[in-house]
C-alpha cells in the first residue's frame, strides 16, 4: 500500500521511479529488495515503460514466487501493457487456484470485456456476488458486462442492486420495474423482483421515519 501510494501521488512518474531505484540500491536484505522491485514495477508502468515494469515485477517474483500480491501485480502490468493474451492466461490460472478472489476476478473481467467474452465475464462476476453480495462495485461491473451482452433483465436487476446498495432506492425501484416488464411468465423471477421492490419501499419508509 505504501508503494502504491508513492506512485499514485507522484506528480511526475519519473519521481517515483527515482525513489524506488534508490531504495533498491540501498536495500540491505531480500525483503527490502523485493519491496523496491515491486514499487519500481508500479512506477515504470505509470511512466508507460512496460517492459521495464514487467522485468522489475518478475525479479520480485523470483524472490517470492508464491506471493499472490506480486502475481496480481504482474497481471495488472500485463493489462496496462495491453498484453491481453498473457493477461487472460494468467488471470485464468490465478482464479482457478484462488476462486472468488476479488482483485483477480475484477481484473479478469476487464480482460474479458476487452476481448468481447461477456458471458464468461458475467459468470465470474455473478460468482463474486455470492461472496460479496453487498459490494456495489461488483454489481456495477456486472451490469456493464450484462448490458454489453444484451442481457437486459440481468442489466436492470444488477443496476437495481447497485442503486439499492448506494442508497438510491427510487432509482433501484425504477430498474426493478423495467426488469419486471421483461420477465413474461417467469413467475418465480417476478415474485423475486416484487420482493426486492418491497425491500426498497421499506428502506424509503425507514429513512422517512428518521427525518
| Region of poorest pLDDT, from 28-32, 68-72, 104-108, 191-195 | 28-32
- pTM of the predicted model as reported, rounded to 2 decimal places: 0.88
The pLDDT score that the predictor gives to residue 7 is: 62
Tell me how far apart the terminal alpha carbons of the chain are, to the nearest angstrom.
39
* pLDDT on residue 16: 78
Residues near 98 by beta carbon (within 8 Å), at least 6 away in sequence: 68, 104
Q: Mean pLDDT throughout 69-85?
A: 96
**CA–CA separation, 125 and 3 (whole Å):** 28
Please name the residue ranges forming H helices in the chain: 2-9, 13-26, 30-46, 50-63, 68-80, 84-97, 102-115, 118-131, 136-148, 152-165, 169-180, 187-210
Q: Could you tell me which residue, 208 or 137, shows the higher pLDDT? A: 137
Average pLDDT over residues 160-178: 98
> pLDDT tens digits, residue range 139-156?
999 999 999 999 999 999
Task: Report the pLDDT averaged over residues 68-83.
Answer: 96
What is the predicted pLDDT for the residue at 11? 62
Average pLDDT, the chain: 92
**Contact, 3 vs 22, CB < 8 A?**
no
Q: What are the chain's domains?
A: 1-75 (1.25.40), 83-138 (no CATH), 151-211 (no CATH)
Q: Tell me the average pLDDT across 124-152.
A: 97
Distance, in Å, from the CA atom of 37 to the CA atom of 26, rounded to the nearest integer, reads 12
Closest alpha carbon to 176 in 206, 203, 208, 211: 203
Amino acid at each position: 500500500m505504501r508503494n502504491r501510494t508513492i506512485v499514485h501521488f507522484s506528480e511526475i512518474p519519473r519521481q517515483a521511479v527515482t525513489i524506488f531505484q534508490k531504495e533498491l540500491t540501498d536495500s540491505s536484505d531480500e525483503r527490502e529488495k523485493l519491496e523496491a522491485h515491486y514499487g519500481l514495477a508500479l512506477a515504470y508502468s505509470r511512466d508507460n515503460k512496460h517492459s521495464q515494469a514487467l522485468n522489475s515485477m518478475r525479479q520480485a517474483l523470483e524472490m517470492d514466487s508464491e506471493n499472490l500480491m506480486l502475481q496480481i501485480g504482474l497481471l495488472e502490468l500485463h493489462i496496462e501493457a495491453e498484453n491481453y493474451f498473457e493477461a487472460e492466461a494468467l488471470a485464468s490460472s490465478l482464479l482457478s487456484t484462488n476462486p472468488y478472489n476479488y482483485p483477480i476476478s475484477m481484473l479478469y473481467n476487464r480482460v474479458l470485456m476487452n476481448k468481447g467474452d461477456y458471458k464468461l465475464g458475467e459468470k465470474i462476476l455473478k460468482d463474486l456476488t455470492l461472496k460479496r453480495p453487498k459490494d456495489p462495485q461488483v454489481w456495477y461491473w456486472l451490469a456493464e458486462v450484462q448490458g454489453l451482452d444484451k442481457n437486459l433483465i440481468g442489466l436492470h436487476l444488477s443496476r437495481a442492486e447497485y442503486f439499492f446498495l448506494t442508497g438510491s432506492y427510487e432509482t433501484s425501484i425504477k430498474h426493478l420495474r423495467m426488469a419486471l416488464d421483461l420477465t413474461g411468465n417467469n413467475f418465480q423471477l417476478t415474485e423475486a423482483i416484487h420482493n426486492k421492490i418491497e425491500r426498497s419501499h421499506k428502506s424509503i419508509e425507514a429513512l422517512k421515519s428518521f427525518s
